[in-house]
Amino acid sequence: MVPASRLLEQRIIDAQVELAESLGVQVGTPVMILRRLRLADGVPMAVEKTYISLSHFPGIEQINFGEQSLYQTLREQFSVHIAWAAETIEILPATREESKLLKIPAKTGVLSISRNTISEDRVPIEITVSRYRADRYRAQIYIPATAIRVGAAIYREG
């Protein structure tokens, strides 16, 4: 499938308490919201909302993310190297807008993935919430053996 994106929204807001904590900034810090519709062969697959602190990445709001890759921009213009991400995965009902954008019936279950991405410098890079069509998406996760051994040790102790 050929991936594509359609820019839905790119604007600046002031970070409220929860968002400020997640991005490691002060309440009221300017944050860019980036909303995109993700497509595969022209078929809507996901609605994505990303939050990025302008204090960590000054000037990033000037880039047109309808035409540019966010991660490529972070890598090339801000020398960002991702260390890890924490994700929460759950099934939630689609909102009215998501149903319309994804072309699915109202309140259909969507795969919701909330991600907090951290740089090698331990700086929060982004907070992203992706809402995927459950009928067109499958996740495959690879877990290193060290994580399995650690998890098994915790399970036996607990």
Q: Which residues in 75-98 are b (16+ Cβ under 10 Å) and which e? A: eeeeebeeeeeeeeeeeeebeeeb
The domain defined by 3-157 folds into Chorismate lyase (3.40.1410)
For 82, phi then psi, to 5°, come to: -75, 135
> What distance in Å separates the CA atoms of residue 89 and residue 111, rounded to the nearest whole number?
7
Asked whether the beta carbons of 82 and 120 are under 8 A apart, the reply is yes
Mean pLDDT, rounded, for 128-150: 80
> Which residues are 92's β-sheet partners?
110
For 20-79, the pLDDT digits (tens) are 999 999 999 999 999 999 999 999 999 999 999 999 999 999 999 988 999 999 999 999
For residues 99 and 108, what is the distance between their CA atoms, to the nearest angstrom? 7
Q: What mean pLDDT value characterizes the chain?
A: 90
Distance CA 40, CA 1 (A): 6
